[in-house]
Amino acid sequence: MRIALAGSFAQLAKKAEQQKTSISVPKEPVENPPLEIYMLGNKVLRTPATRISKVDSSIRELAKKMLTSMYSAKGIGLAAPQVGIDKRVLVIDLDIENPATPPHVFINPEIISSSASIDTYEEGCLSIPGVYLDVIRPSSIKISFRDEMGRPKKMNADGLLGRCIQHEIDHLNGILFVDRVTEQDNLKKELKENGFSYKDVNNIN
Stretch that binds Zn ion, among 58-66, 102-110, 123-131, 193-201 (CB under 5 A): 123-131
Contact 169, 138 (CB under 8 A): no
Q: What angle do CA 177, 159, 39 make, to 5 degrees?
A: 25
Specify the residue, 108 or 166, whose C-beta has the smaller distance to Zn ion: 166
Q: Is 125 in the site for Zn ion (CB under 5 A)?
A: yes
Specify the residue, 41 or 150, whose C-beta has the smaller distance to Zn ion: 41
Catalytic residue among 123, 148, 168, 190: 168
Specify the residue, 94 or 149, whose C-beta has the smaller distance to Zn ion: 94
Q: Is 23 in the site for Zn ion (CB under 5 A)?
A: no
Contact 137, 163 (CB under 8 A): yes
Cα distances (Å, whole numbers) of residue 3 to 8, 14, 16: 9, 16, 20
Q: Quick check: is 122 catalytic?
A: no
How many beta carbons lie within 10 A of that of residue 177, not counting itself? 22
In the complex, the smallest distance separating the C-beta of residue 61 from Zn ion, rounded to whole angstroms, is: 22
In the complex, the smallest distance separating the C-beta of residue 125 from Zn ion, rounded to whole angstroms, is: 3
**Amino acid type, 161:** L
How many beta carbons lie within 10 A of that of residue 10, not counting itself? 10
| Total residues at interface with Zn ion (CB under 5 A) | 1
Binding site for Zn ion (CB under 5 A): 125
The set of catalytic residues is: 168
